[in-house]
Structure 1
Amino acid sequence: MTITTGTVSPPPRNTLVALARGILTGGVVGASLAAVVVGAVIESAPLFVAGLVLPVAYVLLVLLAGVPRLAREAAIAPHMALAMVESREAVGGEATSDVAVRFDLTVAPDDVPAYRVAFTQNVNLVDLADYRPGAVVVVQYPPDRPWRVRIVKRPTPLWEERVADARLDSAPGPAMVSETPKSCAVGLVMLVALLLAAAGVVLGFRAELFDEGASAGSGSSSSTSSSTSSSTTVVSSASGTVSLGPGQSFLDKGELRKAVGALTKGTDARAALTVVVQDRLLSVVYAPTGSEAPTFALDSLPYERLPALVEEARTGLGVGSPQTWQITVERLTGSLTVRVGVTGPDGTASLEADGDGTVVRRTPAR
């Protein structure tokens, strides 16, 4: 019996379903990855767990959604047909009794034209000689998926008789290997969905992310801070700082006294260990409770004399111009000491004054 051949094409893929599945898959992947990362950064356990659970739930839903289709396919009897081996090639499994073989067959169903198909199937080494090129075999496949061909290893006697009498002509190629391949549009849509979902999660928690970054550089919970358009004040149990805005300086008349008042406003007078003043930064270190270190009251500083001391150090000690300056006030030697240090292109110099602002020592630049 000779069977003539024609061609048959696989059914087209449902493009809309493939696009929808790509969008959903990309969205789930992007959202879960972003949720895990953002949850770890902002230390949100619910968000982190949601990022881990989301892909698992999605996979379970996909499997559940496919159960009815699998049940329908199982209820439909597979089609049987004769096929001729065009070529074969072992592709793996040589170390075992079964070897994976890549077959290229011409399948000749009774009700549709013959077609070429390529697939891989495990074959026992003992039976491999039965599938030489040109041999006629019996195959089966789902009615709606003719490319899912499997060789029937032990056909019924009726089909064995048909194999013995059959002669098949080769069908023209190319060989069918699957349904219509996914288009580039599906991959592109999946990538876009992934990026949009990830961006949505990040933007949804942008406030927490920015607050996390800002809090990393802030002081401890025991400190308080306040700010105005011209200065920022931070006070804690151990220290206090005041930062001036651009265009301001603690050498301006009354600015230093006002800043010290901002540090002590609403609190009991506290003894200081050290006061450091720069152009726009004031730092005060307070004495710990019960400390016996030499301290001084903040209102004992010679505020009116400090600008003049800085000016003398900048112009009379030979450091050149421009300069940076710093005032340090302490009482380590028993009496209040005001030290003004300046640094310029020609070196570093300093002068010391007593609690009244009278200069007692000058150290010119070297």
Structure 2
Amino acid sequence: MPTAPGAPPSTHHTPVRLARGFLTGAVAGASLAALVVGTIVESVPLFVTGLALPLVYGALLFLAGAPRRAREAAVVPRTALAVIVTLEAVGGESSDVPVRFGLTVVPDDGAPFRVEFTQDVNLVELPDYRPRGVVVVQYPPDRPWQVRIVKRPTPEWADRAASARFDAVPGAGAARWAEPPEGRADGLVALLGLLVGALAVILLFRADLFGTDPSSGRDGATEPRPSASSTAPTTVVSSASGTVSLGPGRSFLDKGELARALGSFTEGGRARRALTLVVQERMLTVVFLPSGTPAPGFAPGALPRDRFPALVEEATTTLGVRSPQTWQITADRLTGSLVVRVVVTGPDGVASLETNGQGEVVRRAPVR
């Protein structure tokens, strides 16, 4: 695209713009996935996170763009005469009709340039605009494609437009400006971010999805369905995850149950590092750390599992949840140190407590 004198180069496909598009897509994907997964697993915090995430991101994006908007607002727009080359109504059902204008702008102190843009025009004023007509326009000198026709110019400029005569349209070979359209690369990057954001949420809460209905076999045909009469644990281990489900009358809070289940996740005598681990009454799920992943992960055998029964007892009796219905222990180490959370749900709502890697309580969130 030719450049007009004094205009900055286009920044259409800069890395910053592509990164912003990827991040926007990732936030949208994560938000939608959080809403869906939160509804399926009946997790109020996850559902609320899905609602709040785009609002927080929008606020941060607005604040980040404040300096740029301030710089643009400080630029004094230029006023010039322009000749209407083409105009076409492109739709509209109300009294204001969107009109696509093609103008040749003739600045007093610069070379003419062509520009195309869309501006709403009232039906009553539409006959005032015609090809070869002269109008008064304003535009930021650093963004010439943001031209706007001045509908009520000052008397001086109105007189100049009325008396201006052009025997031929000036600037036949002038530079052409049009607002850069969204490129294909922007759409692909945003779509990639959408998929990555949704996949990240599904992967992180995959254990919760399995834990809601162990007998449904959501992991595919490779996960066998234990019979109702069986009391032996059912173990399924793959390269990416592992699950252990107990039979009726057993619990992972029973002495030795969790240690035996974690022992089934060893590989060649070597314990595999985990990204997340979720313990429920009769379901244990581990998402293993993929090779080459920068997350530190943790060794499942190093968890303070001896503290788990006491932590569940504390969460169900001291955080204001009357008649607790379900409990869940989640351990993860995406960054920093290991974090263990105990979440309890009941008719009153959701409460939780958080501990460090030694099982010491560092934060409580009672029912509100």
Alignment TM-score, normalising by the size of structure 2: 0.53
* Partner secondary structure for residue 227 of structure 1: coil
Tell me if 1:11 matches 2:9: yes
Residues 162 and 66 from structure 1, CA distance in 2 versus in 1: closer, same or farther, beyond 3 angstroms? Answer: same
Alignment correspondent of 2:355: none
The counterpart of 1:108, out of the listed 106, 109, 116, is 106
Question: Shift of the alpha carbon at 1:58?
Answer: 1.4
Matched residue pairs, number? 224
1:70 aligns with 2:69: yes
Deviation of residue 100 (structure 1)?
2.7
Q: What amino acid maps onto 1:157 in structure 2?
A: P
Aligned CA-pair RMSD:
3.2
Query: What is aligned with 1:227?
Result: 232
The Cα of 1:225 is off from its aligned counterpart by 6.4
Structure 1 residue 118: Cα displacement: 1.5
The DSSP-based 3-state class of the residue aligned with 1:209 is: helix
Residue 171 of structure 1, CA deviation: 3.2
Q: Does the CA contact (< 8 Å) of 1:117 and 1:147 recur in 2? A: yes
Separation in 2 of the partners of 1:189 and 1:233?
46
CA contact (8 A) 2:91 2:98 kept: yes
Distance 1:50 1:123, change over 3 A: same
Distance 1:130 1:59, change over 3 A: same
- Residue ranges of structure 1 left out of the alignment (5+ in a row): 1-5, 237-366
CA 7–195 in structure 1, closer or farther in 2 if over 3 Å, else same? closer
Higher CA-based Rg: 1
* Structural mapping, 1:204-219, within 5 Å: 204-214=204-214
Distance 1:25 1:44 in 2: 24
Give yes or no for the alignment of 1:191 onto 2:191: yes
SS across alignment from 1:51: helix
| Equivalent residue number for residue 41 of structure 1 | 40
The offset of 1:175, in angstroms, is: 5.1
Tell me, yes or no, if the aligned pair for 1:23 and 1:193 is still in contact at 8 Å.
Answer: yes
Tell me: CA distance 1:166–1:39, structure 2 relative to 1, closer, same or farther (3 Å): same
The alpha carbon displacement at 1:17 in A equals: 1.5
CA contact (8 A) 2:134 2:164 kept: no
Q: Which moved further from structure 2: 58-67 or 18-27? A: 58-67
Conservation of the 8 A alpha-carbon contact between 1:10 and 1:147? no
Q: Residue 201 of structure 1 aligns to which amino acid in structure 2?
A: V
Quote the residue 2:118 is aligned against.
120
Deviation of the 1:140 alpha carbon: 0.2
- Give the fraction of aligned pairs with identical amino acids, expressed as a percent: 54
Deviates more, 1:55-64 or 1:31-40: 55-64
Matched AA of 1:202: I
- Which structure 2 residues correspond to residues 129-278 of structure 1 after superposition, within 5 A? 129-163=127-161, 164-167=163-166, 168-172=169-173, 176-179=177-180, 181-214=181-214, 226-227=231-232
Shift in CA distance, 44/146, structure 1 to aligned 2, threshold 3 Å: same
Alpha-carbon distance between aligned partners in 2 of 1:39 and 1:95, rounded to the nearest angstrom: 42
- Tell me, yes or no, if the aligned pair for 1:7 and 1:115 is still in contact at 8 Å: no
Give the superposition deviation at 1:169: 1.5
Return the offset for 1:18.
1.0
Partners of 1:224 and 1:137 in 2: how far apart? Answer: 86
Check conservation: 1:85, 1:137, Cα contact below 8 A.
yes
Give the AA of the match of 1:209: L
Change (3 A) 1:94 1:10: farther
